[in-house]
A and B are shown apart, each in its own frame.
Chain A
Amino acid sequence: MKKRHFVITLVLGISLFWSGSAFANETLPSNIQWLSNDDAPLIGSPDAKKGGTYRSYLTAFPLTVRTVGPDANAGVRDAILANRLSLTTIHKNTEEIIPELATHWAYGEDKKTMYFKLDKRAMWSDGEKVTAEDYQFTLDFMRSKNIIDPWYNNYYTEEIDKVIIYDDYTIAVVSKKALPELHLRVTISPTPRHFYKGSVPKDFVKKHNWKVVPNTGPYQISNIKKGKSITFSRNKDWWAKDLKRYTGRYNVDKVIYSIIREETAAFEYFKKNRLDAFSLALPSFWHEKAKNMEVYTKGYVKKLWFYNDTPRVSFGFYLNQDLELFKDRNVRYAFAHSIHMKKLLKDVLRGDYTRLEQSTIGYGKYTNPDVKARTYDIEKVKQLLTESGWKRGPDGIWQKGGMRFSVKVVYGYKDYAKWLVVLKEEAKKAGLELNLQLLDGSAFLKMVSEKKHEAALIGLSASLRPSYWQVYHSDNAHKPQTNNLSNTDDPEMDKLIDQYRITTEEDLRVELAHKIQVRSHEIGGFVPTFVRDYFRIVYWRWWQFPKVPATKLSSGAFSAFGTGIFWLDPEIRKETLAAMKNGETFEPELIIDKTFKIK
C-alpha cells in the first residue's frame, strides 16, 4: 500500500509529507557483511598549510548555477558537483572504494542492492544533519518533471530502482540491473530535502537559476558577480575537516573564477600575476608562447609536466559502414593504411602526442596491449585494393566501376583543419582523396548522430570502464541518436558484447573485453588517431604540492575541489614578490613527473 502511494505521488509531481520511519518496517537481511576502508593511502601532504586564494578563470559566464535542467551542463557545474559528496567514491590512485558520506557498505546477494551505513557526523553546510530521507529525496528530485531534464529523469528511473530506508542512518540503493562493480552505479549523493521543503516547485528552473543549494563538501559558492566572477569559500564548519582521509587537502580558503573570454588574454593575465596557473596543453603555448617568457626564465613561475593514466578519449575517424564504399573490409583497411599519423605526430604535433592504438586505451587490465593501430603503408593499400578489384585512375586516385576512393571527412573544430590538411596530402599519395568539411558544432553533432557522415573525425569521451554496447552493438546500428557511429553490425561482436554486459565476474569481463578489442580491430570501422597521456601547466612558484603533485586519474594539478592537495606557502610568496620588485632571479624549474607513465 505504501508503495502504491509512492508511485502516485510521483506521477502527480506532488510530494506528500512522510517521514523516514514510514519505511521502518523494512528490515535488513541478517547475513549482511559490512565493509569499510579507512586505510587507503593518503594523497594529501601532512605539511600542507591552510590559507590563501587560488585564482582561476572561465571563458564564459555560466548561464545558471543549477546543476540540472536547461543550460546547466556547462560553466561551474563540475565545481559545484565536486562539492557534493556521494555515499562512497573511488581512490584516485588505487581505484579502490573509499568512504565519503557512508562509513560502511555491503553488497546484496542479488548483485543489484548495495547497503550503506551513513556517517552520523555528516552535516549540510547550513547546519542540518544529513539523513536517510535526503537520499530518498534525490530520487524524488531527479525524477521530477519540474527539473526539465529528461536525461536525469531517465537515469534515475531506468538505472536506479529505489532507495530503501531502514532507519535514519541505514539505507539500501537498488539498481534496476545486476551489475559488476555495483558501487560505480549506486553511490548517489543526497539532496537537501529541508531546503526544497520536500518538493520540487513548478517554477524550479526559473527560481533556482542563482540559488546556492546547501552542500556537504568543503567549499560553497559565496559570491556571484554576474558576468564577472564566481567565488567559492571554505565552509567554516565543514563536518569532515578533521577526518584522516582529508589530511592536507582543501587547503586554500577561497577559489575565484574570473571571466576571461580569450585564452591568449588569460595567458597575459597569468604572466601579470593575476591568475595562479595556466594550462600549456597546446603545442603552440608550450613550444612558442611560453617557452622563453620572462617570468619563467627569471624563475618566478614553474612548469609541471605530469603523466597521468586515465581512460582515454577514443579520438579518430569513424567510418560509416552503411556507405557502399565502406561495406568492403579491404577498403576500410586501405583507409586506415592511408592515414599518415606518424608524420602528423612527428612533424606537426612535435611529438607531443602519441598514437592511439585502439579505442580502449587507459583502462588498465581491460586494455589489450596486443591490438595495434594500422600504420601508413602505400604498398598495403595497393595490395588490399587490387585484391578487391580497384585500379588507380588518371588522377592517381583509386577507382572501381563508378566509385572513386574519395571520402568526405566531417569535423566540428576549426583547429582540426591544420592536422587534416597534412593527412589529406599524404593520403593522396596512397591514392585516397579526403574532402574536408568543417561544420558548425551543433550541425556536426546532428549529422553524425543521424549517421549521415561518410567519415567523421570525433572523440568519444571515456567512462571509468569500457562500455561497448553503445559503440559497437548492432542494436545501435543504422539508427539515429546512438553512439554506434561506424554502424558496426557484426553477429560475432554482438555475441561478445552481450556476454560482456551480463558477466559480473571481473576476470571473465577482462577476457571478453580483450576479445572485443581484437574483433573491433578486425572490423576496422574506427581509425584511431592520437592521444595525450599527460597534462602540463605553468604556475607561480609559491604553490606547493605533495611529493607526487597529482593523482593517476588527475587531468590537472589545481583541482581545488576534487583532490585539493596543493597549497600556498606565504613565505615563498613574500620572497618571490620581493625578488620581482628588486629584479632578483631564481633558477627556472621544470618538473617532469613520470610516476604514472605507462612504459
Chain B
Amino acid sequence: MLISIFAELLINNRALVVYDGEKVYFPTYGEMIPGRQFGLDYDYETNYRELQLAYQKSDGPEFVILPPVPYDAYEIDLKDGRFPPYPPSFADRHYLGTDVIGRDIIARLVYGFRICMAFSLLLLVMNFTIGITLGCIMGYFGGKFDLLFQRIIEIWSAVPFLYIIMIISSVIIPNLLMLVLISVLFGWMGLTWYVRTTTYKERAREYVLAAKTLGASNSRIIFHHILPNSISLIITFVPFSVAGGISALTALDYLGFGLPAPTPSWGDLLQQGTSNLQAIWIISSIVASLVVVMVSITFIGEAIREGFDPKMHSTFE
C-alpha cells in the first residue's frame, strides 16, 4: 500500500535526479521538462533513459539517477524487429516483461493496484457512511421508517448490479469517481441490513434501557452505547468490502466497461493474459498479484476479527 502511494519514485520514466553540469533537477513531480533543456533536439518530454546513456558516454560530471523500474504505466516500449508482448528481461529492465502493447507489467500492476485500492477505499468509506447511518436510524427508531426502508432495500437489492453498471458505462464514460458513485448506488444495502439488525438487537438490551431511564439523549445512546458495541461487526466487514471492491473493478475492466483505456488496470491485464496464453508472464503475474492481495486481505480480516472478538472485548458502559 505504502509503496504504491510513492510509486512515482520507484516506477517511472522520469528520472529521480538529473545533474546536467550546472543544475540539479528533480523531474519526478512537477511539470514536464522538454528535451531541449538537456541539449536534446526535441520539445517533448525528455526520454531520461536515453539521456542517461548519452551522459554515460560523454564522461562529464553529468548524471541521471533513474528509478529501479524506469518505465511509466502508459509508456509503450517497442523494440526494432520484435513484437510485443516481450518476455521478462533484466537487460531491458522489464522485470516481469511487457503486455501485448509493450507496456511494462510491473508499472501497470503497481499503478493499477493504486487505482484499485483508491476505488475500493472510496467505495468502502461511502458504503459504510450510508450503511451505518441508515442502519442505525432504521434499527433504533424502527416503526414506519424502518418498514419503508426494509422494502426499498429488498427491491433495490433485486436490481442486477453488474448489468446496470455495464449499461450505464456504455452510455457515459466513467471516471474513477463516477464508477465509485455508481457502485455505491447499488452497494449500500448490504451493510445497512447488518447494522440495522445489530442496532435492533442492542436497543433491546438492558444497558440501553438503563441509559434511557437515566435520561440519555438518542444521539448519546447511539454514539456512546450502541455503536461501540456493534463496532466489532462493522470492522470485520472492512477487509471483505475492500476485497469486494477490488474484484468488482477488476471484473468491470476485464469486460471493458470499467475505466477507459489506457488507464492501468488489473482487469485489462487479466483479459490480455487469458487471450494470450502463450505469453505466460502476463497471466502469471496478474494471477499471482491477485492471489497475494486477496489472501493477505483475508488474513488481515481474520486478524481483525480476532482482535475485536466480542467475547474478549465487550464494552458495557
Contact = CB atoms under 8 A, between A and B. Distances in A.
A392 interface: yes
B309 interface: no
Contact of B261 (A392, A417, A440): A417
Contact of B101 (A422, A428, A436): A422
Interface string A266-295: 000000000000000000000110000000
A395 B173 contact: no
A424 interface: yes
Given A378-B42, A436-B260, A443 B170 contact: yes
Contacts of B45: 396, 428-429
Interface in B74-131: 74-76, 78, 83-84, 100-101
Contacts of B44: 378, 396, 428-431
Interface residues of B, number: 23
Contacts of B43: 378, 382, 392, 396, 431
B262 A436 contact: yes
A397 B309 CA distance: 56
Nearest to B100: A418
A437 interface: yes
B262 A424 contact: yes
Interface in B231-253: none
Contacts of B170: 439-440, 443
A498 interface: no
Given A382-B43, A395-B31, A437 B260 contact: yes
B34 interface: yes
A382 B43 CA distance: 10
Given A430-B44, A431-B43, A347 B78 contact: yes
Nearest to B30: A394
Task: Give the dominant DSSP class at A's interface.
Answer: helix
B201 to A, nearest CB: 46
Contact of B78 (A348, A382, A392): A348
A394 B262 contact: no
Interface string A431-450: 10000111110010000000
Interface string A411-431: 000100110111011001111
A50 interface: no
B75 A425 contact: yes
Nearest to B74: A425
Residue of A418, A425, A428 with most chain B CB atoms under a 10 A cut-off: A425
A532 interface: no
A350 interface: yes
Contacts of B34: 392, 396
B32 A421 contact: no
Nearest to A428: B44
Residue of B44, B45, B78 with most chain A CB atoms under a 10 A cut-off: B44
A394 B100 contact: no
Contact of B32 (A395, A420, A430): A395
Contacts of B32: 394-396
B219 interface: no
B213 interface: no
A interface residue count range (under 10 / 10 to 19 / 20 to 34 / 35 or more): 20 to 34
Contact of A418 (B101, B173, B256): B101
Task: Give the dominant DSSP class at B's interface.
Answer: loop
B100 A421 contact: no
A421 B3 CA distance: 27
Contacts of A414: 256
A350 B83 contact: yes
Nearest to A381: B43
A236 to B, nearest CB: 46
Interface in B9-34: 31-32, 34
Interface string B243-287: 000000000000010001110000000000000001000000000
A462 to B, nearest CB: 28
Contacts of A421: 74, 76, 101, 261-262
A181 B29 CA distance: 65
A436 B101 CA distance: 16
Contacts of A430: 44
B28 to A, nearest CB: 15
A175 to B, nearest CB: 42
A135 to B, nearest CB: 45
A418 B78 CA distance: 13
A288 B42 contact: no
A268 B122 CA distance: 44
B171 interface: yes
B76 A422 contact: yes
B292 to A, nearest CB: 27
Nearest to A283: B83
Contact of B42 (A424, A429, A436): A429
A436 B100 CA distance: 18
A376 to B, nearest CB: 13
B31 A394 contact: yes
Nearest to B170: A440
Contacts of B31: 394-395
Nearest to B256: A414
Contacts of A429: 42, 44-45
B101 A348 contact: yes
Given A394-B31, A394-B32, A438 B76 contact: no
A420 B261 contact: yes
A394 B45 CA distance: 10
Contacts of B42: 378, 429
A348 B103 CA distance: 13
Interface string B27-55: 00001101000000011110000000000
Nearest to B271: A414
Interface string B143-154: 000000000000
A287 B75 contact: no
A425 B261 contact: no
Residue of B78, B171, B261 with most chain A CB atoms under a 10 A cut-off: B261
Contacts of A288: 278
B213 to A, nearest CB: 61
Counting from the closest, the 7 A-B pairs by CB-CB distance are A440-B170, A429-B44, A417-B261, A394-B31, A421-B262, A347-B78, A396-B32
Given A420-B261, A431-B44, 12 more contacts: A347-B78, A378-B42, A382-B43, A392-B43, A394-B31, A396-B44, A417-B262, A425-B75, A425-B76, A436-B262, A440-B171, A443-B171
18 contacts: A287-B83, A288-B278, A343-B78, A348-B83, A378-B43, A382-B43, A394-B32, A396-B34, A396-B45, A420-B261, A421-B262, A422-B76, A422-B101, A428-B45, A436-B260, A437-B173, A437-B260, A443-B171
Interface of B: 31-32, 34, 42-45, 74-76, 78, 83-84, 100-101, 170-171, 173, 256, 260-262, 278
